[in-house]
Amino acid sequence: MPDLSVHIGRLKMKTPVMVASGTFGYGPEYADLVDLNKLGAIVVKGIARHPTRGNETPRTVEVASGLINAIGLPNPGFDGFVEQYMPFLRQYDVPVIVNIWGKTIEEYAEVARRFDEVDGVHALEINVSCPNIKEGSGLFGTDLDMFRRVVEAVRKVTDLTLIPKLAPNVSDIRAYARAAEESGADAISLINSVPAMAVDVETRKPKLANVTGGLTGPGIHSLAVKLVWEAAGAVRIPVIGIGGIVTAEDALEFLIVGASAVAVGTASFTQPTTALDVTDGIAAYLERHGYGAVHELVGTMSSE
Ligand code: SIN
C-alpha cells in the first residue's frame, strides 16, 4: 500500500483527499454515509464571528456543467459552531479545517484569534473568495492589497496552519499565490467557485434570488487545473487543488500539476463517498505506476 500521508504546515493528514468547504456541512450531515476517519480532512462551511442567515432562496440551480450556488455564507457564528459541532468533530480522528470569513479585516482577525484557542481545530482556511455576499469576503480575494492585509492580519493572531482560498476570477493567480506565501500562509487552496448566472427564459427571471452565484462541479475542473498549475509554479508552500473532482483521474491531474492535496466538493452532494472512492483510486494508480508515496507524484507533469 503506498504512503498516502501529506503534511501541510502543522497539519498531518492520512490521505491527500479532503472534503471542500460548503459541500460537507459541519460533519454530522454525512456521518451516517461516510467513514469520516478515512478522510484527509474535513473543511467545514464558513464561520464568521456572529451568526448570519445567508441569501434568500432559491440559492442553488443545476446547470449542464454543474451547480450554481448563491448561499450567502449562512453560519451559526463562532460560539454556535464551537458549542454545536466541535464536541461531535472531536470524536473523530480526522483533522478539522475551519473556513473563516468576515466583512472587515478586523472580523477575520477576531474569528481567527478565537479559533486559535479551540481544541480540535487543526487549520484555518481563509475565505476571501465567496462571490455571493455584498461586503467583505469576495472583495478581499480580487484586490491584491486587501488580500495581503487579510492574510497578514490573520497570521498575526494565530499559529494554526493558515490556508487562504483563492478566487479564480483574477488576472494573475500567481500574484495572489505569492502574496499569500509572503504574508505568512502555510498553504493555499484553489479554486473557489467561478462567478456565473442562469436565467429562466419563460419568466425571464434569474434562477437565483441573488441573481448571480458561483459555478462549481465538472464544468470548472479544467480551469482549476490550469490555475493550480500556475499557482504551484509560483510558490514553495503546498497547494490544495479544488474544482470539479468527480473521479480519481481528476484528483491525479491536480497532483501531477503540483498540488500536494485535493478537496472534493460538489460531487459529495450526488455521491457522498466520492472523496473515499477518489482516495482508493489514487492508491491504485500509485501502485500501478510504482510510486511508494503520494508526494513522489506531486508536480511530475512531463513536458516531453
Ligand atoms: C456561499 O455560501 O455563498 C458560498 C461560499 C463560497 O463560495 O465561499
Q: Tell the CATH topology of 6-56+65-195+213-296.
A: TIM Barrel (3.20.20)
Calculate the dihedral angle through the C-alpha atoms of 56, 62, 63, 68, rounding to the nearest 10 degrees: 40
* 116-138 per-residue burial string, b: 16 or more CB within 10 A, e: under 16: eeeebbbbbbbbbbbbbbeebbb
Closest listed residue to residue 265, CA positions, set 69, 72, 54:
69
Q: Which atom of ligand 1 sits closest to the CA of residue 214?
A: 7
Please tell me the residue having the least CA distance from ligand 1 atom 6: 130
The reported pTM is 0.97
% helix, strand, coil for the chain, step of 5: 35, 20, 45
Distance from C-alpha of 209 to C-alpha of 56, rounded to nearest angstrom: 6
In this structure, the residues whose C-beta lies within 6 A of any atom of ligand 1 are: 22, 46, 69-73, 127, 130, 132, 192-193, 214
Q: Domain locations in the chain?
A: 6-56+65-195+213-296
CA of 193 to the centre of ligand 1 (A): 8
Per-residue pLDDT of the chain (304 residues; tens, 9 = 90+): 999 999 999 999 999 999 999 999 999 999 999 999 999 999 999 999 999 999 999 999 999 999 999 999 999 999 999 999 999 999 999 999 999 999 999 999 999 999 999 999 999 999 998 877 766 666 799 999 999 999 999 999 999 999 999 999 999 999 999 999 999 999 999 999 999 999 999 999 999 999 999 999 999 999 999 999 999 999 999 999 999 999 999 999 999 999 999 999 999 999 999 999 999 999 999 999 999 999 999 999 998 7
The per-residue DSSP string of 243-290 comes to S---SHHHHHHHHHTT-SEEEE-THHHH-TTHHHHHHHHHHHHHHHTT
Q: Which atom of ligand 1 sits closest to the CA of residue 131?
A: 7
Distance from C-alpha of 59 to C-alpha of 239, rounded to nearest angstrom: 29
Question: What stretches of 9-118 show up as alpha helix (H) in DSSP?
Answer: 77-84, 86-89, 105-115
